[in-house]
Amino acid sequence: MGGQVVTAVPWTAERVAGLAPDPASEKAGRALATPAKWSGAGASEDAVWGFCQGSGKKPYQTCVELAEPAFRCSCPSRKFPCKHALGLLMLWAAGRVDTGPAPDWVHAWLAERADRARRAEKRAEAAGPKDEEAAARRASERAARVEGGVAELKVWLTDRIGAGFAGFERSGGEELRTVAARMVDAQASGLAGGLRRAAAIVGRRDWPEALLAELSQLYLLADAATRLETLPPALAAIVRTRLGFSVETARVLEEGERVADEWLITGAADEENDRLLTRRTWLRGLRTGRDALVLSFAPPGRPLDASLPPGHLLTAELAFHPGAAPLRALVAERGIPLPAPTAEGGSISEALSTYARAMAADPWLERWPVLLSHVTPAEHAGGWCLSEKDGTALPLVPYAFPWSLLALSAGRPLTVAAEWSPAGLRPLTCWHENRAVRL
C-alpha cells in the first residue's frame, strides 16, 4: 500500500459515534447531525467546521481537526468532544458537508495547534537530562514501597490460608478491599487490581474455588516479585508489568520489538475501573499472525483513542512492550485505516492451543484475543455459545448480550472476534455479508 495517501477516507458513522464520551453525548450529537442546525459548514482534508445554532443568540463555532482528532467549540459544555463536534462529524460522515477552503478562524486554530505542538516538543527536549537524577531517585523509592507491599501481601495470604475461608462470604469482600487499598498505597496497582477482582468473587456461586484460584495467582506474582533478579529477563518484565510498573512510551518506542504488518483491528472493549476508562483494542497481523493489544485510557467524560476502528485494516509498525510472548504494543508508524469487509480466523482448537502457549509464558494472562471462523451461535445448558459445525463450542460469558450476534447469524456461520477468558467468550466484532459489525 506504499505511497502517501492524501485524501482522507470518510469516516463511518460508527467511528464517529465511538468518539462520544458517553451515550447521552452520542444521542445529543445525533440530534444535531442535520443540515438545518448548521450554517457555514465545510470540510477540508484536515478539518471540518461549522456554526451551530444553540439555545443562545450567538451560534457556537465548532471545528474538528481530523488527524488526531482534536476538537474545539465555543460552547460551554465540559463534555469532550461536545455534542456539537459530534453532530458536525456525523453530518460530515453522512456526506452532507461540502468540501471547501477553510475560513480564517479555522486556519488560525490549526496554526495555533501546530505551533503549540512544536513548543511542547522543544520543552521536552530541553527538560531531558536534568530530570534523570530525580527520576532515578523516584524509581528506587517506588521499588522499595512495592517491595514492602509484596511482603505484606504474602504475610496476609499465608495467614488467610492458615485460618481458612470459612465465614469469609460475610466479611471477606471488605477485608479484601482493605488489603487492596494498602496495595494502592504501596503503589502496586497490579496486586490491588487482583485483590479487587477477588473481592468481587466472594459470595458468588462456587466462590471458594474461584477465590482460591485468584489468590493463588496473586501469591505466585508476589512470590515472583521477591526474586526478580533470578528470573529470566523476559519473565521479569512480565512480573514487573503485572505488579503495576509501567514502561514509558518513549522506551517502548525506542527499545521495543518492532513488527511491521498489515494489521486487522479485530475488536475493541471498553471498561471502567476506578474512575478510569480503559479501551482494549486488539490487532492481528495478517502476515505474521501476531496478536497485539493497544490500550488507551481516559478519565470519564473524555474520549478514548478512536484512531483504531474495529473492522478496519491498518498498515502499521507496532512497538511491543518488553516481556515473554509480548502482547501489549504501541502504534509507532501508521497508515490510514481502511474497512476490512471480510476476515479470516481459525478454529476453536487452534485458538485454545495458542491460548495455552500464551498462558505458559504469562500465567497471569486475564484474557486472550480469538478470531474464529465458521462459528454459529447456539444454545447450551441455558446459556449461549459459539459452535463449530461438528458441535465443538466455547461458551459466551454469562453477561454477554447475544441477540445482535444471533440476529446476524440466523443459524448461519460467521467469523467472530472475541476476548477469551476463564469466564467465557466476550464477542466484540463479527463479519457479516461483506462488512464488519461491532457487537
Partner 1 sequence: MKAWEDLVGTALLGTRRRTLDPSAQPPAVQSLIADRGDPAEQLLSAAAVLSTYRRAGRQPLHDVRPLPVAAEDERPFVPPLARERLGRLLAASHPDLLLEWLGIVAGTHYRVPPETLPLLAEAARTKAALRSPLAAVAGPAGAWLGQRNPDWAFLSAPAEEQADVWQYGSLAQRRRWLTAKLAEDPDAAREALTGSWKSEPADVRADFLGVLSGHVRPEDEAFLEAALTDRAAAVREQAADLLGRLPGTRYGRGMAERLEPLVHRRNRVLTVALPQGERGDGTVRLRTLVAAVPLSFWIEFGPPAEVVRMTVEGCPAAVLRDSWATAALRQRDETWAKALIGADPGGRTTPPLLGVLSPAGQAATVGHLIGRLPVESFARLVHELPRPWTKELGTALLDWIARQDDHRLVSHAAVVIARAVPAQCLRHPLATTRLTMDAGPWRRALTETLNFRREMYEELA
Residues from 210 through 239 that contact partner 1 (CB under 8 A): 212-213, 215-217, 219-220, 223
> 145 or 197, CB closer to partner 1?
197
Distance in Å, CB of 380 to partner 1, minimum: 5
Round to whole Å and give the CA distance between 22 and 19.
9
Distance in Å, CB of 407 to partner 1, minimum: 4
Give the three-state DSSP class for 345: coil
Angle at 270 between CA 269 and CA 273, to 5 degrees: 135
Residue 179 touches partner 1, criterion: CB under 8 A? no
> 208 or 335, CB closer to partner 1?
208
Total residues at the site for partner 1 (CB under 8 A)?
72
Residue 261 touches partner 1, criterion: CB under 8 A? no
Q: What's the grid cell of residue 415? A: 467469523
**Which of 5, 22, 39, 270 forms a contact with partner 1 (CB under 8 A)?**
39
**Which of 44, 352, 374, 426 forms a contact with partner 1 (CB under 8 A)?**
352
Give the three-state DSSP class for 360: helix
Q: Are the C-beta atoms of residues 341 and 302 closer than 8 Å to each other? A: no
> 76 or 391, CB closer to partner 1?
391
Determine whether 25 is exposed, middle or buried from the number of CB atoms within 10 Å of its CB (0-12, 13-18, 19+).
buried
Round to whole Å and give the CA distance between 211 and 390.
34
Identify the bridge partners of residue 411 per DSSP, sorted by sequence position. none
**Which of 324, 378, 397, 426 forms a contact with partner 1 (CB under 8 A)?**
378
Residue 377 touches partner 1, criterion: CB under 8 A? yes
> 210 or 252, CB closer to partner 1?
210
What is the x/- site pattern for partner 1, positions 401-430, by CB under 8 A? x-xx-xxx-xxx---------x--------
Distance in Å, CB of 153 to partner 1, minimum: 11
**Which of 15, 18, 25, 33 forms a contact with partner 1 (CB under 8 A)?**
33
Q: Which stretch binds partner 1 (CB under 8 A): 30-38, 136-144, 269-277, 331-339?
A: 30-38
Residues 6+ apart with CB under 8 A from 405: 377, 414, 416, 427, 430, 439
Q: Is the peptide bond before 233 cis (omega within 30 degrees of 0)?
A: no
> 263 or 368, CB closer to partner 1?
368
Give the three-state DSSP class for 333: strand
**Which of 348, 371, 396, 428 forms a contact with partner 1 (CB under 8 A)?**
348
* Sequence-distant contacts of 112-115: CB under 8 A, at least 24 apart: 113/65, 113/70
> 242 or 252, CB closer to partner 1?
242
**Which of 19, 21, 25, 26 forms a contact with partner 1 (CB under 8 A)?**
26
Residue 346 touches partner 1, criterion: CB under 8 A? no
Q: Nearest Cα to 113, choosing from 67, 61, 60, 79?
A: 67
Residue 332 touches partner 1, criterion: CB under 8 A? no
Residues within window 46-105 making contact with partner 1, judged by CB under 8 A: 53, 59, 90, 93-95
Q: Which stretch binds partner 1 (CB under 8 A): 72-80, 132-140, 319-327, 357-365?
A: 357-365
Residue 373 touches partner 1, criterion: CB under 8 A? no
Give the three-state DSSP class for 324: coil
Residue 151 touches partner 1, criterion: CB under 8 A? no
Q: Where are the beta strands (DSSP E) in 275-413?
A: 276-285, 291-298, 312-320, 329-334, 338-339, 368-380, 383-387, 393-395
Q: Are the C-beta atoms of residues 399 and 428 closer than 8 Å to each other? A: no
**Which of 182, 363, 373, 397 forms a contact with partner 1 (CB under 8 A)?**
363
Residues within window 275-314 making contact with partner 1, judged by CB under 8 A: none
> 214 or 261, CB closer to partner 1?
214
Q: Where are the beta strands (DSSP E) in 349-410?
A: 368-380, 383-387, 393-395
Residues within window 387-406 making contact with partner 1, judged by CB under 8 A: 387, 389, 391-395, 401, 403-404, 406
Angle at 281 between CA 279 and CA 286, to 5 degrees: 175
Angle at 303 between CA 302 and CA 308, to 5 degrees: 160
